[in-house]
Chains A and B, each alone.
Chain A
Amino acid sequence: MVDVKHVSKGYNKKNVITDVSVKIAKGKITSFIGPNGAGKSTLLSMISRLIAKDEGEIYIDGMDLTRCKNNDLAKKISILKQSNHINVRLTVKELVSFGRFPYSQGRLTKEDRRLVNEAIRYMELEDIQHKYLDQLSGGQKQRAYIAMVIAQDTEYVLLDEPLNNLDMKHSVQIMKTLRRLADELGKTVVIVIHDINFASCYSDYIVAMKDGKVIKEGTTDEIITPTVLNEVYDIDFKIEEINREKICVFYS
């Protein structure tokens, strides 16, 4: 379990996150939603120790984040950010192999190789595993990065806007994969997501944020309601049930 306690973070004396406390359940998908500038990505980056917090505490399975060794954390928690996607001439397989770096420091063992191949198979990348990343489409690239995170084999998988720049087909594909990560492999998945309907259909828990504060957290059913969403986004929401999924209509 990730336990965020009274965390604050500010840039230039302006608070981006103010006194946020959240609990993230194990083995489930939790989505952070909210308007731009709500502090979702900042919170995610703090949980994954990419940026330091100003105040408060973050515990991962009871361990204080600041006291953990960097390399140990890399076996426990992984984060994928959009900014990671730079054009570098690595093959898919080389990239996925880097996921094993925290374990092998670059000298892959037999077990590492097995896990790398497994991750490639899991993300259906066998055909393109020897292609360079800069030859791939956005969806393929995203899958390659997720395969790396799978090879990293961490209990916690954090993704910052994993659907950015993807079309519907690939978005669904990625979300289904994340679902499988939680259901089949028991991973705890935390995502920052803008598309409210993807959040509604695929996540177990939702944390709704606004202006650096948590407005409400709870199960998907508790959050996907007109009252909560109206408050978070300041626009009118209608919620319809289609095939037992709650679909939000906000195109006024």
Chain B
Amino acid sequence: MKLIYLVISFIVLAITSLFIGVQNISPLDLFQLTEEQIHVLLVSRVPRLLSIILAGVGMSICGLIMQQLTRNKFVSPTTAGTEDSARFGILVSMMLFSGAGQFVRVLVAFFFALLGSFIFMKLLDKIKYKDAIFIPLVGMMFGSIVGSITTFFAYKEDLIQNMSSWLQGNFSMMIQGRYELLYISIPLIVIAYLYANKFTIAGMGEEFAVNLGLNHKQIMNIGLMIVALITAIVVLTVGMIPFLGLIIPNIVTMYRGDHLQKSLSHTALLGAVFVLACDILGRVVIYPYEVPIGLTVGVIGSGIFLYMIMRRKAYE
């Protein structure tokens, strides 16, 4: 797949996304917009588009980094418990600092997501039986445990309705003033680009990395921090988008290989394209109502995930 096809589909989908919705705005109106239409575009459509792009790009890159660092194609924020840990962090921030702003919530969610990722990495170290499928299973169990702790406390504190809104990603709430937090992921993505080579080398094992003069532990930590922060931000603003960080990097590495410098741009673009397509689908399928993104990505994503596992079996 050429980058140019991705760019074209990205642009087409991005424009489409702007002109779908209850309030009728057609591209033809673009030069004679009514005040109301301008308002809708600026307050709702553009923020939604931007948040879709940032979340799609961010989560896909998170998945790619995690897969590289753990050397396992089935590890992602969804299957390593990172998203669940971030959600737990959000709950904790709601319980302890109920009046606090978004920024404090991000910090707490980030801290928990990071802690969760470190625990997962520690679990990986301890596991002797390193089967490719076994590791994400452990991660999902770990995620479920964290998730049930979250649910328990949410019930106790009567926050269950709030928490379930973070369980399922949803872009319909993305209006001006609610999505800006996602901008924090831009510098993180830039850092990911700068470290692309180092992540690739770290992914070849500690001995390999040390041989080339790299501080393996430091690179791992930087990678996990990027993943935890982006995940925390996305979960906090949009909600959980399952399988996104899993399937996109897998599709890209199939045809681009494991060299991050070669696969990062493709991963970023394909992630945005995929989420845009899923979002548009979710908006038109029961128009004028919409299906939350967590559901469409989950259904389509798990389908692709199953297909990949089957295909993998056929190879072995």
**What residue of chain B has the Cβ atom nearest to residue A48's Cβ?**
B211
Q: Does B204 contact A (CB under 8 A)?
A: yes
Q: Within the complex, what minimum Cβ distance (angstroms) separates B192 from chain A?
A: 14
Check A71–B210 contact: CB distance below 8 A.
no
Q: Does A168 contact B (CB under 8 A)?
A: no
Q: Does A90 contact B (CB under 8 A)?
A: yes
Check A106–B257 contact: CB distance below 8 A.
no
Give Cα A45–Cα B207 distance, bound, in whole angstroms.
9
Segment with Cβ contacts to B, from A19-27, A76-84, A238-246: A76-84
Q: Does B307 contact A (CB under 8 A)?
A: no
Within 8 A of B (CB), among A110-157: 132, 152
Check A70–B257 contact: CB distance below 8 A.
no
Interface size counted on chain B using CB atoms at 8 A: 22
Within 8 A of B (CB), among A68-104: 69-75, 78-81, 83-84, 86, 88-91, 94, 98-99, 101-102
Q: Does B102 contact A (CB under 8 A)?
A: no
Segment with Cβ contacts to A, from B21-29, B57-65, B114-122, B195-203: B195-203
Check A89–B257 contact: CB distance below 8 A.
yes
Check A90–B258 contact: CB distance below 8 A.
yes
Segment with Cβ contacts to A, from B135-143, B212-220, B292-300: B212-220
Q: Does B265 contact A (CB under 8 A)?
A: no
Check B197–A106 contact: CB distance below 8 A.
yes
Check B210–A98 contact: CB distance below 8 A.
no
Residues of A within 8 A of B71 (CB): 86, 88
Within 8 A of B (CB), among A21-76: 45, 48-50, 69-75
Check A90–B205 contact: CB distance below 8 A.
no
Q: Does A252 contact B (CB under 8 A)?
A: no
Residues of A within 8 A of B198 (CB): 106
**What residue of chain A has the Cβ atom nearest to residue B213's Cβ?**
A74
Give Cα A49–Cα B214 distance, bound, in whole angstroms.
12
Q: Does B208 contact A (CB under 8 A)?
A: yes
Check A84–B205 contact: CB distance below 8 A.
yes
Give Cα A105–Cα B214 distance, bound, in whole angstroms.
10
Q: Within the complex, what minimum Cβ distance (angstroms) separates A106 from chain B?
A: 3
Give Cα A81–Cα B196 distance, bound, in whole angstroms.
24
Residues of A within 8 A of B203 (CB): 88
Check B197–A81 contact: CB distance below 8 A.
no
Check A70–B205 contact: CB distance below 8 A.
no
Which of A71, A75, A86 is B204 in contact with, Cβ under 8 Å?
A86
Check B210–A50 contact: CB distance below 8 A.
yes
Give Cα A185–Cα B43 distance, bound, in whole angstroms.
67
Give Cα A106–Cα B194 distance, bound, in whole angstroms.
10
Check A88–B213 contact: CB distance below 8 A.
no
Q: Within the complex, what minimum Cβ distance (angstroms) separates B246 from chain A?
A: 17
Check A90–B257 contact: CB distance below 8 A.
yes
Q: Within the complex, what minimum Cβ distance (angstroms) separates B251 from chain A?
A: 13
Within 8 A of A (CB), among B26-78: 71
Residues of A within 8 A of B253 (CB): 89
Residues of B within 8 A of A70 (CB): 210, 213-215
Residues of A within 8 A of B259 (CB): 90-91, 94
Q: Within the complex, what minimum Cβ distance (angstroms) separates A44 from chain B?
A: 11
Check B210–A49 contact: CB distance below 8 A.
yes
Give Cα A174–Cα B204 distance, bound, in whole angstroms.
23
Q: Within the complex, what minimum Cβ distance (angstroms) separates B216 from chain A?
A: 10
Known interface pairs A86-B71, A86-B204, A88-B204; A78-B257 also in contact (CB < 8 Å)? no
Give Cα A89–Cα B260 distance, bound, in whole angstroms.
11
Give Cα A74–Cα B210 distance, bound, in whole angstroms.
8
Residues of A within 8 A of B215 (CB): 70
Interface centre among A69, A70, A72 (most CB of B within 10 A): A70
Give Cα A90–Cα B207 distance, bound, in whole angstroms.
17
Q: Within the complex, what minimum Cβ distance (angstroms) separates A249 from chain B?
A: 36
Give Cα A75–Cα B212 distance, bound, in whole angstroms.
8
**What residue of chain B has the Cβ atom nearest to residue A100's Cβ?**
B212
Check A132–B257 contact: CB distance below 8 A.
yes
Which of A50, A74, A88, A106 is B258 in contact with, Cβ under 8 Å?
A88
Check B212–A84 contact: CB distance below 8 A.
no
Q: Within the complex, what minimum Cβ distance (angstroms) separates A32 from chain B?
A: 17
**What residue of chain B has the Cβ atom nearest to residue A94's Cβ?**
B259
B residues neighboring A (CB under 8 Å): 71, 196-198, 200-201, 203-205, 207-208, 210-215, 253, 257-259, 261
A–B Cβ pairs within 8 angstroms, 29 of them? A49-B210, A50-B210, A70-B213, A70-B214, A72-B213, A73-B213, A74-B214, A78-B211, A83-B205, A84-B205, A84-B207, A84-B208, A84-B211, A86-B71, A86-B204, A88-B71, A88-B258, A89-B253, A90-B200, A90-B258, A94-B257, A98-B200, A98-B212, A99-B212, A101-B201, A101-B212, A102-B212, A105-B197, A106-B198
Please give me the 4 A-B residue pairs with the lowest Cβ-Cβ distance, nearest first.
Answer: A74-B213, A106-B197, A71-B213, A89-B257
